[in-house]
Each structure stands twice: as structure tokens, then as C-alpha cells.
Amino acid sequence: MTTTPSAHLDRARSASPRAATENFKQPLILGTSPPGGGFIPYGDAVATTIHEFSPSLTVIPKFTRGSLENIPLLEDGSIQLGLVGGEAAFEALTGIGRTPASLRVISAMYSSAGMFVVPGRSRANTVSDLIGKPVIFGAPGSSLGVQARYILDGMGLDLNRDFEAIFIARDDEARAMLDNDQAAALWGGGLGWPAFTDLAQSPGGARFLVPSSEEIEGIVRKHTFLKQMEVPANTYHGQSVPIISVGSWSVILAHADMDEDLAYLLANALHEGERRMAELVPSGCETTSLNSLLAIPSPEYLHAGVVRFLSDIELM
């Protein structure tokens, strides 16, 4: 899905000389997540790629409590860029349970199909087998819990009512809890998510539990912003066949008032660095300009500078 035709890039540069020459010296703080989460290696890859392909820009990743903290930090200007899970971004941008946030999308990150993982020795084979069991749903500020609520609701289940929900400070604490039978399963998502990778590579291996095809139909019918997604075979150790589940796209957000030329530069750097992102982190293969257009509910949620860039490379 990577699209980097040189003629398009040449047109983009000539169409906006200010965006190509402006030297933004102030570092941009990028809100990520607690240590151990998938946003950490991804944020590092974003910072590296943007600086390599736009040396005038410096991005500094910052540990946060995750998506639900990154949104208010963006709103009050404490950070300039934030990694946010799809469900949390959708709620903020559309104003579900709050006033619509004055934030805009800089880039799609990666698709995040929600799944449970259990140790290989577990007797659980379906999501229903986990009802009443202790299940880890990530950090309190993570969007993983938000995603789980929507997906489980589409299955007629409630995170707190039907499970012994556990929230942990760091995603890398989950492995020990699963090994010690303090938890029966872990909820997560995304390609190459570290906590999933860690358990799958353990001596006992792991299995992934997802909604059935009928349950997926019910979920996307009730929550139309969620989509059926596929996790390709061999994404995780021992996973020999594709996994079909449901989820959304995580995104990089910025304040709507971010300088338009700066947003243009960021979009251009990530576009030119698509192959580099894929080299640095597994989920980076999905960070493309085309996906930035296809993954969001509506183009109105794109930053104006990104819209101009996508128009210049003839994707809009």
C-alpha cells in the first residue's frame, strides 16, 4: 500500500515552497503510552523517521498514561503530537460523551484488531470461555479498554459485569500475571504488539481468541465505525493462519491550530519515510498516506496541512 511516486513528491515540494523550507526549531513532544505498550516502539520509529526525512524537525517521544491522557494533553498544548487509539479518537473527534475536540489527524498509524490472548496451556477456546475470569484490559488510560467495551458490547457482554476486569500500570506486567495464573487472558491489539509477542514467544506459546463470524456481524452492525480486520498469518510466533477480528485504526493527532506548513512537513516526512517506518517497527508497514485517507471516518478530521499535502500528491 506504500505509494511514493517521485513525480508526485516533486509536485508537492514545488506546490508549497514554504512547507519545504521552513525551519521549525522547536521540538515536538509526542505523547505515547506507559512503558511496555505498543505505542512506545512505534513512537520511537515516528521520531526517527520524521527527523531522517525532514531534518529541521525534532520529535521527542514522552511516556504518558496512553490515549485517554494524550487527548487532553494535546488540547492544553502540553504535547504537540499524540498517539491515540481509534475508538478514543472517534469519541473525541465526534464528541461522544464530551464536546468535540479541536484536534485533527496527522497520519493513520496502524489497524488494531482487538483480541484476547491466553497461554498455550489454557483450556479457553472461545471468548465465552473467559466469562467470569480475571482478564487484563491494559492500562487505565489506554484506548484498549475503550475498544474492549465497544466490541464486547456488540457481543452482548459488559467488561465489568461479565469479567473480573484488571487494569495494570504497564503492559509489560501482563506476562508475569498470566504465568502465575493471576489472570486468565490479556486483551490487546495491533500488529506486533509487544505484550502479545512476548507471550507468543514464551516456552508454552499462546492462543488468540476472537469473536465468531456471527458475533463480528453483530458488532459492526451496532458500532458502525468498527470494521472487520485481519491479522496476517505469522504476525505472532506459532500463528500459522490469519486471525479475523474487529477493530479500528489508531492515529497520530495534533491540535487543529498547529501551523499548516508544519503539518504539511510532518505528512511529507512520513510519506517519504513509509519504507523506513516498516523497517523500524512491524506496525509501521501500515503507516501510509493512502491509509491516512482511507482509515478515518471522514476527511474533515484530517489537519488542513495534511489535506493540502494529500491533494498535492493527488490522493485527494
Separation of alpha carbons 110 and 287, rounded Å: 6
Average pLDDT (185-211) is: 93
Burial environment of residue 95 by CB neighbours within 10 A (0 to 12, 13 to 18, 19 or more): exposed
List pLDDT tens digits, range 27-62. Answer: 999 999 988 788 999 999 999 999 999 999 999 999
Average pLDDT (205-212) is: 97
Model confidence band, residue 21 (pLDDT cutoffs 50, 70, 90): very low
Q: What integer best gives the mean pLDDT of the chain?
A: 90
Identify whether the C-beta of residue 289 lies closer than 8 Å to the C-beta of residue 270: yes
CA-based nearest residue to 16, from 298, 238, 260 = 260
Q: Which percentage of the chain shows pLDDT scores above 70?
A: 93
List pLDDT tens digits, range 294-312. Answer: 988 889 999 999 999 999 9
pTM exceeding 0.85: no
Inform me whether the pLDDT recorded for 22 exceeds 70: no
Question: 17-21, 151-155, 232-236, 242-246 — which is least confidently predicted?
Answer: 17-21
The position carrying cell 476486569 is 165
Task: Give the count of alpha carbons within 13 A of 306, CB side only.
Answer: 29
CA-based nearest residue to 230, from 281, 177, 286 = 286
List pLDDT tens digits, range 112-138. Answer: 999 999 999 999 999 999 999 999 998
Identify whether the C-beta of residue 149 lies closer than 8 Å to the C-beta of residue 159: yes
Identify whether the C-beta of residue 157 lies closer than 8 Å to the C-beta of residue 125: no
Q: Which three cell numbers stand for residue 19?
A: 512547507
